[in-house]
Structure 1
Amino acid sequence: MPTRCHLCGRDTFIYNARSVMVCEACLAPHDQDAGWKGYRFRTIREREMFKHHGLLPEDKGYPCVLRVIRKRCRPRLDCPCRAYGIAILEHTRLWRDGDRRLVWTSEPYNLDQAALDEAVAQTYTPLGIGVQVGGYSPHSPGATTLLRFRALRD
């Protein structure tokens, strides 16, 4: 009896990743160097981030935006991972892309564009962190905005 891939819907050879079934073709772009073959998706959000953005969760260490530039979290309120509150930082998570680089995401419900512009200009750009706005947000599609924070240089 054929099984359908949760990412592409094809009937094909499937990796059983706990409750998520993923075919070889969907995993192929991420198999070669990353070693992600047979990754077990734990949540629908993980599967959707992989499907739409090619990101897999990074579970090692504290999920702080400073990790994308290889620095440690400053455990006070002045750390950039806490400084702006829910105006731009809500439902945050640390991921790895296909090149194994860290990506920190935030999915706020009501994005405050003025607060984002201020944060980018005063905090993230001087640290060497770029911010991409938009794209499919799996936390609550249509109600949240996806922000992706990456190192500007490697």
Structure 2
Amino acid sequence: MKLIFPYGSDNIYIGKPVELSFDPETGEYDMPDNATDIPPLSADGAGMWRPKFDKEKNTWIETADQEYKDSLKKEIVTEPDPVKDQLYRIGQQLSAEELARKQAEEGQQALGVQLTNEILARKQAEAVNMSMGEQLAALKLKVLELEGGMTSES
């Protein structure tokens, strides 16, 4: 199999390569008159807009002017793809929900820290209250002992 590039009567590339079969009787490829095995590429290896085959030079030449290229570019209009649009919207929604979830987690974490601090402060206050209660009880006991001692001595 050999890939060939057919062109029309005006020598303009038809636009679709064709596979040429090997002829077992002749042992060669039977190349049609309106085709070549030279790919329609410019000298730098880039593709062409409207290649024309020059039989004398055995090469492709670009025949498209800028106006022709611009006209083809205008014809290429991308139609909206509802699936892509839907995937885009779903992606945006997912990102927004993930951000909201992270913010909620941070809020919960901040509340947890605040609650822990309040519990610690309450425990410290309870410890201080208990210590003060013990001190007050000890003072009352001393006052009672002193009053009792004054009464028994007098």
Whether TM-score is above 0.5 comes out as no
Q: Which has the higher strand share?
A: 1
Structure of greater Rg: 2
Structure possessing the higher relative contact order (Cα contacts under 8 Å, 6 or more residues apart): 1
The alignment's TM-score, normalised by the length of structure 2, stands at 0.17
Q: Which has the higher helix share?
A: 2
